Amino acid sequence: MTASQLLAKSPQLSVGILTANLGTLDEELRRLERAGMTMVHTDVMDGVFCPMLTVGVPFVAAQRTSLRKDVHLMIHEPLARVGEFVKAGADMIVFQVESASNPHRVLQVLGDMANENDSARGIIRGLAISPGTPLEVLPPLLDHLDYVMLLAINPGWGGQKFIPATAARIARVREMVAGHGGPIAVGVDGGVTKANIAAVAAMGPDVVVTGSAVFDGSSAVEANAQFMQAQLRASSTS
């Protein structure tokens, strides 16, 4: 999958799976497929870069699905680890720029990796940027990137409140990407709810990550996912 393939379906949701019922992972994935979703987002936290410890390589491998596997790495020094996630079937590797002492090198390594699901597709090379990190990290990396994902919350937990300054950061990243010229998708992750999805869509992201709004423990997952996708399409400016 290249950035162009990601952009062709823009705007789209990537659904965070960790708030689902993990005891019935297969059934939860079928629900997302039935709802017409295209991506499943896994938040990998190592208890070092992030206070929370979540899931790792076996959990990505356990996802048997036609959805693209979007793997968000919030782990210390991801360079040595990305290969294992690619082997487990990750289609997208999105790592935190703050977590790597040499993010450029991580992107170079990802660019040489083959997609285990389909060798015709590459790996989407994604960079995640926390709310407090200056966007000036981006320009030297743009030649090696397919996807920039802005966090609208601090990494660590689902269900946090969307930080309003994220809107201006999305606009700034859009300018940087447009100035660069190559196909690069822009995403946003964290704090997106049924109440603010239309406003977030109007900020123009290509990808919106949403977890607890879809797996909310009360309404049907399919209905939640379709509501979020419809709102995203209706209000998008991307």
Binding site for ligand DX5 (CB under 6 A): 16, 41, 43, 72, 74, 155-156, 158-160, 189-192, 209-213
Which one of 46, 70, 189, 206 is the catalytic residue? 189
Judged by CB, which is closer to Zn ion: 28, or 43? 43
Report the alpha-carbon distance of residue 7 to residue 158 in Å, rounded. 26
Judged by CB, which is closer to ligand DX5: 49, or 238? 49
Query: Under a CB-based contact definition with an 8 Å cutoff, are residues 170 and 207 in contact?
Result: no
Whether 189 is catalytic = yes
Least gap, CB of 42 to Zn ion (angstroms): 8
Q: Pick the binder of Zn ion from 28, 43, 70, 91 (CB under 5 A).
A: 43
Report the alpha-carbon distance of residue 10 to residue 147 in Å, rounded. 12
Least gap, CB of 114 to ligand DX5 (angstroms): 26
Helix (H, G, I), strand (E, B) or coil at 218: coil
Judged by CB, which is closer to Zn ion: 114, or 132? 132
Q: Which of residues 71-90 bind Zn ion (CB under 5 A)?
A: 72
- Does 174 interact with Zn ion (rule: CB under 5 A)? no
Which one of 26, 43, 112, 143 is the catalytic residue? 43
Whether 146 is catalytic = no
Report the alpha-carbon distance of residue 212 to residue 189 in Å, rounded. 12
DSSP string, 161-207: PPPTTHHHHHHHHHHHHHHH-S--EEEEES---TTTHHHHHTT--SE
Query: Under a CB-based contact definition with an 8 Å cutoff, are residues 173 and 207 in contact?
Result: no
Least gap, CB of 234 to ligand DX5 (angstroms): 19
Helix (H, G, I), strand (E, B) or coil at 72: strand
Active site residues: 43, 189
Contacting positions for Zn ion (CB under 5 A): 43, 72, 189
